[in-house]
Every structure is written in C-alpha cells, then in structure tokens.
A = this chain, B = another copy of it.
Amino acid sequence: MSKIISVPNESKKETISKNAAKLFRKKGFSATSMRELAVDIGVEASSLYNHIGSKSELLQIICFKVANDFINQINELEQVEIEVTSKLEKIIRFHIHKMLEDYDMVYVANHEWKHLQEPFLKNFLNQRKLYENKLIELIKIGISEKSIKKLNPQVLAFTILSAVRGLEFWQQHKKNIDIAELEKTMVTQLLTGIIK
C-alpha cells in the first residue's frame, strides 16, 4: 500500500491518533481492530508499529490530551478574578467548544477511558477527580458568597458535568441548532433554570 499521509505540522503519530479516535468513538475501543485502523489510514496493520508502541498507547494519547486540555482551562480560570457565576458560564462554554472542535477525542476520553491499563487508568481518574473537585470548590465559593443557591455542591457540579459531557447529541443535530443558540440555552438552563 501507500504511505501514511500526514498534513504539515502534524506527526504521523498524531495522524494515527486522530483516526484511532474516530474509530474508537464509532465502534468502541475493544471493538476496533488495528487492521481496521490500518485500512482507514491506507497501510498494513504491521506498519503502524513503526510509529506507535501499541493500541493501548493510542487510547492513552487520546485520553490524556483531553484531560490536560480541561485541566489547563480550569487552572487558567482560577487565576482570573471574575464572579463565580461568570466562571461557571465560561466552563460550560468551554465544554461546548471542545466538544465541537475535538468531538472524537472528547467522546473517547469520556466513554472509553475504562479500557486504559494501569497505571494510566488510575492516573486518568485522578485527573478527572481533580477537575471535579476544582469545580465543586468553585461552587462552594459561590454558595458562601450567596450568589449560588445553598444546595449540595457535589450534586450541582456533577449535574453540570453530566449535561456538558452529554453534548454528543449536538453532533447529530448540527444542522438544526446553531452553536450560539446552543450555548445560550445551556448556560441559561444550567444557571437560571427553565421555569419562568
């Protein structure tokens, strides 16, 4: 077969990872074979191993890329001095943008992380918990400042995360809903509710 075609500024490893993300999202990690991935890329399965270490490594690359992006964003946000509710709004909007830009990778990180091997599995879950705890802390500050209702901060945080992590639905309705409306609706709903 032919060579792996990679666009400039993108290593062949990245090209393989992105294709892997697409397949892992569509079929799941375990149900995706290296042979299928190779076909998609246009090369024999064995040739992939000149560029990557293992199938498992591809999942690691995907999951930690996403985890780092989210951790970095919330870290930057901690430095900024704006109201808690504005921070929450920014977090929600960031999730929406990420889901649109890196749909495959975000989806895989959200749904296929359980197939990571140790020690990567523990590592990933630690990253996740770190992010969740930062969000919970933010909400607690909001409650103490009386800008947020006195409800269980853990539940509030997880509900927001569940809502934005479920943004996959959007991919299937791209045509019907425009992104500005999507953002406005979700921010309004999650922050101020749906009842008039």
Q: Which residues of A contact B (CB under 8 A)?
A: 26-31, 85, 111, 114-115, 139, 146-149, 151-152, 154-156, 158-159, 161-167, 169-170, 173, 176-177, 181-182, 184-186, 188-196
Contact = CB atoms under 8 A, between A and B. Distances in A.
A186 B163 CA distance: 12
> Interface of chain A, helix or strand or loop or mixed?
helix
Nearest to A166: B162
Given A149-B196, A190-B193, A191-B195, 19 more contacts: A26-B114, A28-B29, A30-B30, A30-B31, A149-B194, A151-B189, A152-B177, A154-B176, A155-B177, A155-B185, A158-B169, A159-B186, A159-B189, A161-B169, A162-B165, A162-B166, A163-B163, A163-B166, A192-B195
A29 to B, nearest CB: 8
Nearest to A165: B166
Which of A29, A156, A193 counts the most chain B CB atoms within 10 A?
A: A193
B166 A152 contact: no
Given A155-B181, A155-B186, A162-B166, A193 B193 contact: yes
Contact of A161 (B149, B166, B189, B195): B166
Given A30-B30, A114-B27, A165-B162, A194 B155 contact: no
A97 to B, nearest CB: 16
